[in-house]
Amino acid sequence: MNRQEVREIRPVLRWVGGKQFLLKQLLTFCPTDVADRRYHEPFLGAASMFLALRPRKANLSDSNPHLMNAYRIISTRTDEVARHLSRLSKQDSQQFYYLTRKRYNNSRFSIVQAARFLYLNRTCFNGVFRVNRQDQFNVPYGHKPKPWFPSRDYLRNFADAMSTAGLFTEDYRRALKRAKNGDFVYLDPPYPPLNGTSNFAHYTLDRFGVPNQHDLAEEVRELDKRGCLVLISNADTKLIRQLYRGFRIHTLDATRFVSCKANKNSVKELVIRNY
């Protein structure tokens, strides 16, 4: 597989805050030798940036165990996941969705559970992953006329991309301890809300709030002292601009769902870097 083919691998998930539609702009801010540097991404989500860059060495992590367990199983038991996903997708309906959601919330992780995770992600409302205080996935059915599901070959390509990376379920603080001088770190944390209704922090039981934004900024300054190259995506708010004062800050136009409604909104996002 040549480099061009490698770069065409795309995410298998829909993910709120995913960077698929901003990739062309974001890639222009990456170091030209990024593929040769050790890569770290502790807020992995849909893994759009990693799949676009395909660095030779990578540590990928997220504090969401549902997400990381699914990635591990997809990467190692690809054909079996594809077979179960095909079976689930053929039965798609509102009634079947809620039955599958109930089974998902009452089951431990397995090959079938990874397929359920993919099915629920492709058919839920807006690709949202949200859990309640009992760690139960509670997103309603999305009513998509023709949901798209990744094929076996698509999943195989994704698994091949993941095969060169270490996959970890952990807090960003622990993940960033692995970063060393010369490494490249991409950070795409849950954004602070733009208004009273938008909220992108409910991916795990531990909500990512303002104190976490402050802590992350401190971690970034430590990475800077350590000699790491750091690229950050975040919301264009007064808080974020203050936290990263002294770094290079760029503004991007983005389209996001910023409330529980289905309509899209044009917003500003920040790209922050220390190089």
pLDDT tens per residue, range 125-139:
999 999 998 999 999
User: Does the pLDDT value for residue 201 go beyond 50?
Assistant: no
Evaluate if pTM is beyond 0.85.
yes
Grouping H, G, I as helix, E, B as strand and the rest as coil, residue 124 is strand
Please tell me the predicted confidence (pLDDT) of residue 18: 81
Mean pLDDT of the chain: 90
- The residues pairing with 249 across neighbouring beta strands, listed in sequence order, are 272
What Å distances lie between residue 226 and 176, 223, 248, CA to CA? Answer: 11, 5, 18
Distance CA 103, CA 152 (A): 23
Determine the pLDDT at residue 73.
98
pLDDT score of 129: 92
Judge whether 239 and 194 are in contact, CB under 8 Å: no
Tokens of 16: 């709120």
d(CA 56, CA 86): 32
On whether the CB atoms of residues 47 and 67 are closer than 8 A, the answer is: no
Q: How far apart are CA 272 and CA 183, in angstroms?
A: 16
> Does the structure show a pLDDT above 90 at 167?
yes
Q: Does position 199 have pLDDT exceeding 90, yes or no?
A: no
pLDDT at residue 197 tops 60 = no
195 or 67: whose pLDDT is higher? 67
Q: Which residues contact 110 (CB under 8 A, 6 or more apart)?
A: 73
pLDDT digits (tens, 9 = 90+) for 102-153: 999 999 999 999 999 999 999 999 999 999 989 999 999 999 999 999 999 9
- Gap between the Cα atoms of 212 and 199, Å rounded: 14
**Secondary structure of 166-194 in HEC code, one letter for each residue:** EEEECCHHHHHCCCCCCCEEEECCCCCCC
pLDDT band at 5 (very low <50, low <70, confident <90, very high): very low
- Kindly state the percentage of the chain with pLDDT values over 70: 89
- Range with the poorest average pLDDT among 86-95, 129-138, 181-190, 248-257: 248-257
pLDDT of residue 2: 41
- Which domains does the chain carry? 3-63+170-273 (3.40.50.150), 68-154 (1.10.1020.10)
Beginning with the edge strand found earlier in the chain, give each strand of the sheet holding 165-169 in spatial order. 165-169, 58-62, 39-41, 184-187, 229-235, 265-273, 248-256
Q: What share of the chain is helix, strand, coil (3-state, %, to 5)?
A: 40, 15, 40
